[in-house]
Structure 1
Amino acid sequence: MTDRKAELAANLAQVEERIASACAAAGREREEVTLVVVTKTYPASDVRILHELGVRQVAENRDQDAAPKAAACADLSLRWHFVGQLQTNKVRSVASYADFVQSVDRVKLVNALSAAAGRDGRELGCLIQVALDAESGERGERGGVAPDGVEELAAAVESAPGLRLAGLMTVAPLAGPFAGRQRAAFDRLMEISSRLRGNHPAANMVSAGMSADLEDAVAAGATHVRVGTAVLGVRPGLG
């Protein structure tokens, strides 16, 4: 346990240094960027160590992993972000522990989340996942709604009981015009965010960037970066 804590502390310090340097280069205050540590495939014991090290925001992408982990860490002051593609049959479980769902990409999901949040008496922060590889009206291969579908979905979230429209999220696309062009992709997301905030001023979260491209996300103006590998190491089974 002690070795693992030292390892995570060292990794966190390196990531912190990267974020601070990226903020300085972009002329931004360090406080403008929130680190969300993606703990998927790692045990609840790692989440506890991260909490000891000051981490307060964690993310998961599979309910079958997240639900027991959230339950095991229920005594900690953590904010849980669900970042994976979400099937409606998992919504009731996710709504019981998640503070934010970052992967809202269709009206059917909005309705299901609203019903579940109401049942539990909770408010869920919702980020609309934007698929920058999607054609008009289509969904991307990694989930998300096409840019021209954002406003319709935002209106659905804003009018849904138990949900709060928090902002936008994207994953750097593997295909389409932004493939391999992370900075351009994140700049495009910021344009969409600016337009969204014209009608929904409180929707000011912009979640973008991961271990490999967090600097590009910070430079573009992201408010949240989702970092897994750089903090926790290569996923078990993927090394």
Structure 2
Amino acid sequence: MSTIAESFEKVSSQIKEACDLAKRPVESVQLLAVSKTRSADEVREMAALGQQAFGENYLQESLDKIVATEDLSLEWHFIGPIQSNKTKPIAENFSWVHSVDRLKIAERLSAQRPYYADDLNICLQVNSSREESKSGCLPEDALALALKMSALPRVKLRGLMAIPEATDDLAKQHQQFREVRELFETIKAEIPEIDTLSMGMSDDLIPAVEEGATIVRIGTALFGPRNYNQ
């Protein structure tokens, strides 16, 4: 068994373990394989194991990869920070965008989504830990933003995305994810159709799933450490 196959099996087992702990069906959590800095061949190897959804942070790299694997009909998610001048290729080439953090970006994605494509699934990114280095709206602004985004054509607001503060403290991990879930539930009371909580990465996927994540974004645990100098 290859290293990627072993890692895929391990991560899948962790998701099942977390779902069992939370008394949730394993089908309620989607694994998003974060393939930034990875080659098209590595994506192909992961896809051969049954993985269909891949997440990318860097636009040009991801567009090259999408073209190189177009025969596989994969589902591509953009999860990185978005500059206003980059919205058009994102709107044209992705099925999901997790990192929509302001109305202007949502409006541009709405206007630039091709007429022949399905509505673009978007998540409102929330800076739940209020870190200056991170993108995302403040929690107190999320409901008003979500209401405006949910009214836009050609995009479909699916829920929230968050990257809480990194910590090894399991109790704090749970607390941070719980706060995001509670915000999600507040917004869902006003927008019942939202259904997605994108949270949890390689180091904290189990508490994220226990606290309600429906998409976990996993890179290092699947592909190994990244080499950003390649």
CA distance in 2 between partners of 1:204 and 1:155 (Å): 15
Moved >6 Å (runs of 4+)? none
Q: Who is 1:68 aligned against? A: 64
Partner of 2:15, secondary structure, is helix
Partner of 1:235, secondary structure, is coil
- State the Cα distance separating 1:181 from its structure 2 match: 2.2
Q: Who is 1:85 aligned against? A: 81
Q: Who is 2:52 aligned against? A: 56
**Unaligned residue ranges in structure 2 (runs of 5+):** none
Moved more, 166-175 or 206-215: 166-175
Asked whether 1:182 is paired with 2:166, we answer no
- State the Cα distance separating 1:121 from its structure 2 match: 4.4
Partner AA of 1:32 in structure 2: S
CA distance in 2 between partners of 1:106 and 1:120 (Å): 25
1:21 to 5, 17, 31: 17
- State the Cα distance separating 1:156 from its structure 2 match: 2.0
Asked whether 1:46 is paired with 2:42, we answer yes
Q: Who is 2:8 aligned against? A: 12
Moved more, 7-16 or 67-76: 67-76
Task: Identify if the C-alpha distance between structure 1 residues 154 and 174 changes in structure 2 by more than 3 Å, giving closer, same or farther.
Answer: same
- State the Cα distance separating 1:159 from its structure 2 match: 1.5
Deviations 1:162-189 (A, max 9, x none): 11010111002259xx9x9221111001
Q: How does 1:194-213 map to 2 (within 5 A)?
A: 194-213=185-204
On the 8 A contact 1:61/1:82 being kept in 2, the answer is yes
Partner of 1:142, secondary structure, is coil
Q: Who is 1:156 aligned against? A: 148
On the 8 A contact 2:57/2:78 being kept in 1, the answer is yes
**Unaligned residue ranges in structure 1 (runs of 5+):** none
Partner of 1:198, secondary structure, is helix
CA distance in 2 between partners of 1:140 and 1:203 (Å): 27
Partner AA of 1:10 in structure 2: E
Deviations 1:67-101 (A, max 9, x none): 11111111212111111111111111111111110
Moved more, 8-17 or 139-148: 139-148
On the 8 A contact 1:132/1:140 being kept in 2, the answer is no
1:143 to 135, 143, 146: 135
CA distance in 1 between partners of 2:132 and 2:166 (Å): 10
CA distance in 1 between partners of 2:139 and 2:219 (Å): 26
On the 8 A contact 1:96/1:120 being kept in 2, the answer is no
On the 8 A contact 2:91/2:114 being kept in 1, the answer is no
CA distance in 2 between partners of 1:167 and 1:97 (Å): 20
Q: If the length of structure 1 is used for normalisation, what is the TM-score?
A: 0.90
Q: Cα RMSD over matched residues?
A: 2.0
Q: If the length of structure 2 is used for normalisation, what is the TM-score?
A: 0.93
